[in-house]
Amino acid sequence: MTSDERAKMKAGHDVSTVAEDPDLAVASAKAHPLKTAVQTVIKVGVAVALIYWMINKGVLNVGAVMSLATPTMVAFCLFCVMTQIFINNYRWLLLMRAQGLDSTIGHTLPLSFIGMFFNFFMPGGVGGDVIKGYYLLQDMPQKKVAAAISIFMDRMVGFFVMIGTAFLAVFFNWGSVSHSPELQSVAVGVLLLFTAFIAFFTLALSRRLGKRLFDAWLGELIFVKLPGGDKLRKIYDVVHGFRQHPKLFFWACFLSVGNQILTVAFVAVLAAAMGITEIPLEAFFFLVPIGMVVTALPISPAGVGVGQAAFYFLFSLYLGKQSQFGPTAMTVMQATNFAMGMIGAVFYLLRKKPVALVTN
């Protein structure tokens, strides 16, 4: 029996994996309530402080936000966000099916709304994924690793397309980027992130590289000799399962492109409504994805405050002057997401017990 086979057998006897962290997180929160409460207060405080500073300095104009609340604009914003929710949910559903998880839109859509609702109570713009994952693991207890990996890959695909969009947009905005050392630094960061994503997905989806690099070379070191290697092997095998369904993976990427177009359209239409015409369309494809990635950092609930600061920094750099547009656009976007998140609150209150699902 080879070391690789022994590692797989050992992994099969231990179903407690890193992917089950939502359960562990809940237990940890119960064990350390004071620590959890302090962390939450600090993160909410950061969000409040950032918003207060921007309002006090005139960076964020509340009046400008309210002036955009016309029936037409509200309808447009709600349409964009609702469409994105359905796109993201279907993308997640495709990735679940690639893992052999038999689910339906009727099951995943309420979880997506619940996750969106909890984004506003957990750090970062994707904090709600923890809650969404927790409920998914309840519904699929026999395939917890695959269920958790589906959420992880869904987020990774979204970030990959975000960074890829910004990467391609650099070339269409090179004239503006090359004249700003700060924007050049941002562009270098985008390049490094894009390269890292390409490397990750190449290793995850390539049969040849995966076998040569891990099975033949690093398998013995990582999966057998390292502590917890059996768990890493189980996660590695689940991630590698996506290579059996390349079409589903690429469809997920295609849906993410549509999602990015909607996000850019959202911000571009807001710019037109505010009378800002000096930003070309291709610039939005560079600035908006980067700002959204920063918003997802686990600093404040739903990225409130952090997103405004990121958009203020990026659009001010591009325009070469201080501008209220970035924080205003982010505030409108977060307000719309919060409104849609209220649907998630309803689903959360109605959910009483795990949904029994059959997996392949």
Q: Which domain holds residue 226?
A: 3-12+22-350
Classify residue 238: in a domain, yes or no: yes
The answer to the question of residue 358 being in a domain is no
pTM score of the predicted model: 0.78
Q: Tell me what pLDDT residue 245 has.
A: 82
Instruction: Tell me, yes or no, whether 356 lies in a domain.
Output: no
Per the CB < 8 A criterion, the answer to whether 230 and 7 are in contact is yes
Report the pLDDT value the prediction gives residue 220, as an integer from 0 to 100: 57
- Helix (H/G/I), strand (E/B), else coil: 124: strand
Q: Is 72 left (phi over 0), alpha (psi -120 to 50) or beta?
A: alpha
DSSP state of 356: P
Structural domain includes residue 359: no
Instruction: Decide if 360 is inside a domain.
Output: no
Which residues lie below 8 Å from residue 12, measured CB to CB, with a gap of 6+?
none
In which residue are the tokens 């099916």 written? Answer: 97
Number of CB atoms found within 10 A of residue 260's CB: 20
For residue 144, the model assigns a pLDDT of: 82
Q: How many CB atoms lie within 10 A of CB 161?
A: 22
Phi-psi region of 235 (alpha: psi -120 to 50; beta: other; left: phi over 0): alpha
The count of domains in the chain is 1
- Confirm whether 143 is domain-assigned: yes
Name the amino acid, one letter, at 249. Answer: F
> Is 205 within the bounds of a domain?
yes
According to DSSP H, which parts of the chain are helical? 3-12, 21-31, 33-56, 62-67, 71-98, 105-118, 128-139, 144-172, 174-178, 181-205, 207-210, 219, 229-240, 246-273, 281-295, 306-319, 325-350
In a domain, 104, yes or no: yes
Q: From first to last of the 360 residues of the chain, give the pLDDT tens digit.
A: 444 444 444 433 333 333 344 444 444 444 456 665 666 666 667 666 766 666 666 556 677 788 888 999 999 999 999 999 999 999 999 999 888 888 889 999 999 999 998 888 766 556 678 888 888 888 888 888 788 888 888 988 999 999 999 999 998 888 888 888 888 999 999 999 999 888 878 877 776 666 566 655 555 555 556 666 666 666 666 677 777 788 888 899 999 999 999 999 999 999 999 999 999 999 999 999 999 988 877 666 667 778 889 999 999 999 888 888 999 999 999 999 999 988 998 998 888 765 555 444
Which residues are registered as beta bridge partners of 337? none
User: What does the pLDDT read at residue 259?
Assistant: 95
CA distance 127 to 151: 12
